[in-house]
Amino acid sequence: MPGGNRGGGGGGGISRGKKNYKGQRRHFTDEDELKNQIEKDEREKNWRKQRGIESEEEEDDDAKRAKNRDMPASESSSSGSESEEEEEEKKAKGVEHLIEVHNPNRTGAKANKKIGELAEGGGATQLSRREREEIEKQEAKRRYQALHAQGKTDEAQADLARLAIIKQKREDAAKKKAEEQKAKDDAKAAKSKS
């Protein structure tokens, strides 16, 4: 027996990867079966109603579910997602209904607002931390530039001192150049007289 293939030998052995379900029978729910299921749900609902077990909210949810079953697939998918979101909000997960915990990562439906609602809200809008920091940074820069223009900052005073030194050096250089030029002109004049 050659080594290597352990799964039953050659080509038709046991598959170890994904299972392939092609060719198997598919089960489709029959129309009669759907009607029977709806009738059964109605009987259960009426029985609960008689016993006083079911509340008004559950009746509304049942009506929505029945409506979604009767709709074509394209319509039920859009309205079905709304009812599913409502159910998710109502149903408590784990001990969530016992302990009220605010999770900042889970914003829910409050995150989506329409433009009209934003306009009605008016007043102060909530800024994110980054936006607030950016605005504060711009304000600080504007105040610094105003103080700098008035010469009240350390940097401005240092700049002004440097400018005064440079002006003094230029004036001294200009005086020295003027004296040298005058000396040259006097030397030329003395030379030309002799």
> Is 150 domain-assigned?
yes
Domain that holds residue 75: 33-91
C-alpha span between 107 and 117 (Å, rounded): 17
> Is 22 domain-assigned?
no
pLDDT of res. 153: 87
Let me know whether 83 and 37 are in one domain.
yes
Token pair of 54 as six digits: 């079911």
> Is 59 domain-assigned?
yes
* Each residue's pLDDT expressed in tens, for the chain with a length of 194 residues: 455 545 444 555 565 667 777 777 777 788 899 999 999 999 998 888 888 775 555 556 656 665 565 555 544 444 455 555 566 566 666 766 677 667 777 765 555 666 666 665 555 568 899 999 999 999 999 999 999 888 888 888 898 899 999 999 999 999 999 999 999 999 988 888 87
Token pair of 33 as six digits: 């079966």
> Is 104 domain-assigned?
no
Please state the pTM of the whole predicted model. Answer: 0.29
pLDDT of res. 36: 93
- The closest of 14, 94, 65, 64 to 5, measured between CA atoms, is 14
Let me know whether 137 and 186 are in one domain.
yes
C-alpha span between 76 and 82 (Å, rounded): 10
> Is 4 domain-assigned?
no
pLDDT of res. 7: 47
pLDDT of res. 71: 54
